[in-house]
Structure 1
């Protein structure tokens, strides 16, 4: 197997809820492991998520963790998750992810010909969408 590049999202105690939500929206297989599961049962972070992976039939892989108390949690706006393709099902995913969040740019036709939009989900994660339009 070759190398992979996947998003790995840091959360401040709500990784389980976020990943379960993404699992509801995207489907696939969700694996969750707490710090206790990995041998840190005496840690104050024992019940937090040390590693989570969501793998979907569409080939999406999203990973996450809860930042331990000893590590500074600094959410930023310099990273976004990007979903692109020619699948009309992306519109449904956009709608589901936007529930409880904020649509920064509604899905609509852009000057490059594709349909695109951006939202921030209820966990503060930015998602960018680009739905390729068929050329006539």
Structure 2
């Protein structure tokens, strides 16, 4: 099965961000550090940074993240990329709970509420600068 998953890049905040997303979405976080993979970074200050992290939820959501090391160009969240969490009416409570949790420290918040086209819709930029969009419509 082919899957498309968001992969977010951070500057030293990937572990913290993944734990924040786990608290909002549920699931389990797995982390590999630069120090656990020989040759990935020779900088002693970067050994505990996240080379690859993954959050996988019981709902089948997968969100990946890493810290960009000093040897690579900065690839932190950018304009034009949005993480979308969508579902059907059966998912409304889960998405509403996630929106509430992700709203802590968020900016540019468009409240998650019934939209003119009938879906529940909302948007925000989380505390890490990652834009999110939420949409729950009929099955």
Q: TM-score scaled to structure 2, two decimals? A: 0.88
**1:111 Cα shift?**
2.2
- Specify the SS of the correspondent of 1:36: helix
Q: 1:84 aligns with which of 58, 83, 86?
A: 86
* Residue aligning to 2:29: 30
Which residues of 2 match residues 109-128 of structure 1 at below 5 A?
109-128=114-133
Runs of 4+ with deviation above 4 angstroms? none
8 A Cα contact 2:35 2:48, kept in partner: yes
Which residues of 2 match residues 33-112 of structure 1 at below 5 A?
33-40=32-39, 43-44=42-43, 45-74=46-75, 75-85=77-87, 86=89, 87=91, 88-112=93-117
Greater displacement, 88-97 / 100-109: 100-109
Richer in helix (by share):
2
How big is the alpha-carbon RMSD for the aligned residues of Structure 1 and Structure 2?
1.6
* Residue aligning to 1:10: 9
How many pairs does the alignment contain?
Answer: 133
Which residues of 2 match residues 123-134 of structure 1 at below 5 A?
123-133=128-138
8 A Cα contact 2:41 2:69, kept in partner: no
Query: Could you tell me how far apart the structure 2 residues matched to 1:89 and 1:42 are?
Result: 39
Runs of at least 5 residues in structure 1 that lack an aligned partner in the other structure: none
**1:108 Cα shift?**
1.9
Q: TM-score scaled to structure 1, two decimals? A: 0.90
Greater displacement, 114-123 / 74-83: 74-83
Greater displacement, 5-14 / 95-104: 95-104
